[in-house]
Amino acid sequence: MNTAAALKIDSNNERIGSTLTHKATSFHQPQILVVEDDVTFEPFWQAIVERADRNAKVFWATSELEAEDMIAKAFETGQGFDLVITDIFLSGARTGIDLWSKFTKALHGKIIITSAIEYEKFMQYFDKSDARPLFLQKPLIPHECVGAIYNSLHEGL
C-alpha cells in the first residue's frame, strides 16, 4: 500500500488508498487510540467508546512517543486508527498537540484533544489560520464525549 496515497473511492464505494482508515464494509470495528497518562481514565473511556459505538476497539498509550509508535505500526500493517483521543499533557516531553501536529493529515483530522485547561488557553496553541482539533475540557461530560466520538467516527460516511 502506498502510504502517501489520497483517499479514493472505488467502483464498489469502498475506500482505497487510505493510510489510516479501513475499507467500508457491512461490519466495521472502529479502532480508537486513547492517549492519556492518567490510567484511572481507562474505564471511563472504555464505557464512553462503547456507548458511542459498541463495536469499537480501544487501544491505550500513556505518552506521545508510545502513541506515535502505535500509529506508525498502523501505517505498516494497514490496520489504522479511525480516531485518536489524546490529553494535551502526557508523560514524557511531548504533548497531545505534538501528536496532532504530526498526524492530523494522516488521520484526516480525526483527533480529539482533552485537557483541564480553559478553552481560551487551548486556542493559544494554534495560529488563527491553523485547523484546530476538537477540544473536550475536563472534567469530561459523558454525553459530550459520546457525541464527539460518534460524530467523528460517522462524519463523511
pLDDT digits (tens, 9 = 90+) for 90-135: 999 999 999 999 999 989 889 999 999 999 999 998 877 678 899 9
37, 87 Cβ separation under 8 angstroms: yes
pLDDT of residue 19: 38
**How is 123-156 classified by DSSP, letter by letter?**
HTTS-TTS---EEEESSP-HHHHHHHHHHHHHTT
**Does an H or E element contain 67, and which?**
helix 64-77
Q: What is the DSSP letter of 93?
A: S
pLDDT of residue 67: 98
Rounded to 5 degrees, what angle do the CA atoms 40, 84, 147 make? 80
**How far is CA 45 from each of CA 84, 113, 116, 122, rounded to the nearest angstrom?**
12, 13, 16, 21
pLDDT at 157 over 60: no
User: Is the pTM here over 0.85, yes or no?
Assistant: no
81, 71 Cβ separation under 8 angstroms: yes
What are the extents of the domains in the chain? 8-154
Is 45 or 4 the better-scoring residue by pLDDT?
45
CATH of 8-154, one of 3.90.1640.30, 3.50.50.60, 3.40.50.300, 3.40.50.2300: 3.40.50.2300
